[in-house]
Amino acid sequence: MAEMVNLQSFNRQNMYIQSHNFEGELNPFDPNRKSRFVFQLERGHAFDGTETVSTVRFKSVRLDEGNFYLRHRNFRLYLEAWNPPTPADVFLDDSLYFLRGGKAGNVDAGWVSLQSFNFRDRWIRHRDYHVYVESLGVNPASAKEDATFKMVPTSWFFLEP
């Protein structure tokens, strides 16, 4: 059975990553628009240069969107379809993230950070309620909190039509 998750922010725990107009945004959970916040988790493994590490992709479960994934383009997170004209390897690399222990928070409590597969110095993080793939070098304390999320298991059974 497919694993469905919401991506909860560490430092804004009432807020979750959602797709709004196909852009990654951080917003309070809206049960009337649940499908914008729910992603099918696709797990895998990849070599990070040192060892083989768990990876994840986030596929949209919105019924009207088909084969859409969270990917970065120009370091902004978007929900985009996996179909050319983008070369398949670029899209696959842009939508793949190493699953790491949370940069902030207690790993045992489920907090994780998501490192870009193809830009290893960049992480999924929120800034000004938009979601990016960025370095954590500027203001590292708050950046670590902005780059920490919990993959909260959820159900897809109650999605709006």
Would residue 44 count as lying in a domain? yes
What pLDDT does 8 receive?
A: 96
| CA–CA distance, 90 with 111 (Å, rounded to integer) | 28
pLDDT for residue 161:
45
Asked, for residue 17, whether it belongs to a domain, the answer is: yes
pLDDT tens digit sequence for 105-143? 888 889 999 999 999 999 999 999 999 999 998 777 799
Domain carrying residue 72: 3-153
Q: Are 125 and 141 in contact (CB under 8 A)?
A: no
In a domain, 160, yes or no: no
Kindly report, residue by residue over 15-58, the tens digit of the pLDDT. Answer: 999 988 899 999 998 888 887 888 999 999 999 999 999 999 99
| pTM: predicted TM-score of the whole model, two decimal places | 0.90
pLDDT in tens, 50-91: 999 999 999 988 756 678 999 999 999 999 988 766 677 888
Q: Is residue 34 part of a domain?
A: yes
31: in domain: yes
Report if residue 158 sits inside a domain. Answer: no
Q: Measure the CA–CA gap between 27 and 6, rounded to whole angstroms.
A: 12
Q: How many domains is the chain built from?
A: 1
- CATH number of the structural domain spanning residue 17: 2.80.10.50
Enumerate the β-bridge partners of residue 96. Answer: none
